Amino acid sequence: MEKLIITAAVSGSSPTKEQNPNVPYTPEEIADQALGAWRAGAAIAHIHVRDPQTGAADSNVELFAEVVEHIRADSDLIINLTTSGLNLTGSDAGDRRLDPISLKPDICSLDVGSVNFGRRVFVNPLDWVERGAREMKEAGVKPELEVFDIGHIRQANQLIADGLVASPPWMQLCLGIQWGIEATIESLVEMRRRLPDEAIWSVLATGAQQLPITTHALLMGGHVRVGFEDNIYLERGKKADSNAQFVERTVNLSRNLLREVATCAEARMMLGLRAVKTVTNDQ
């Protein structure tokens, strides 16, 4: 079984300091949490940015740039910038969602297919998804194809078949989002069954389902995403102090199950990403 790639989803757009005071808001806080997760064993940091004062979801490319600069100065961490833009409105929202591509991160998330998020609608029209895939390919940025239901996998598979996504495709199976596919073992197995053979796949699950679902994914040969975006509790009634705590637990679990954890350099090779100067995380 190949080595495990761990992604730390550092802040997301929804958790607040009122819910957990350790949720990062400022670019420096977000970068510090990402670097802490890297030192703990994460190979990828999935980055959202927030208004530094209020913590509201933001999509200001200058905030993304600050985070990228801090991370790149101190690590070889693989940077994955979101293009979800759930906070954006207006006729130019689709354009602004793709602004992070200009920073040339290693990866940008690309949400495939629309879905109800609670009482909101997360709209990802086919034309926008195809445009995002083309722009990422032209910029040398790998898309992380985020899928929230079975039909989204069909659409992602078509993007791959149409040559809009370079091999190997990197796919994030998102379970437990209301009203996406539920976080069950049956759902995980069925989503995995529908992936193309060449896909490298990772799994996230929200809240209390994060640990059991990611553990099953680990055993199935998949990769995992953990962190504050998906869960603010380390265990029932105990709020996590940092993203690093989730990563440390995942590293220990993986090693106990006799699966090695991938370094950033190894993850880059697995995903077909450009190499960078290796920086050790034993500090």
What secondary structure does DSSP assign to 107-149, as a single string?
EEEEE-S-EEETTEEE---HHHHHHHHHHHHHHT-EEEEEE-S
| Three-state secondary structure call for residue 183 | coil
Residue 14 burial (10 A CB sphere; 0-12, 13-18, 19+): middle
DSSP letter, residue 241 = S
Q: How far from each other are the two terminal CA atoms of the chain, in whole angstroms?
A: 29
Q: How much is the pLDDT for 142?
A: 98
Set out the domains of the chain in order of their start, with CATH numbers. 6-271 (3.20.20.70)
Q: How much is the pLDDT for 191?
A: 98
Q: How much is the pLDDT for 225?
A: 98
Q: How much is the pLDDT for 283?
A: 47
148: Cβ–Cβ under 8 A, 6 or more apart, which residues? 111, 113, 115, 174, 177, 180, 181
Residues of the chain with pLDDT under 50: 283
- Dihedral in degrees, nearest 10, Cα atoms 129, 31, 227, 281: 110
Quick one: which of 242, 281, 237 has its CA closest to 261?
A: 281
Quick one: which of 228, 244, 245, 240 has its CA closest to 12?
A: 228
Q: Is the dihedral of CA 264, 204, 104, 110 positive or negative?
A: positive
* Chain center to CA of 142: 12
pLDDT digits (tens, 9 = 90+) for 163-219: 999 999 999 999 999 999 999 999 999 999 999 999 999 999 999 999 999 999 999
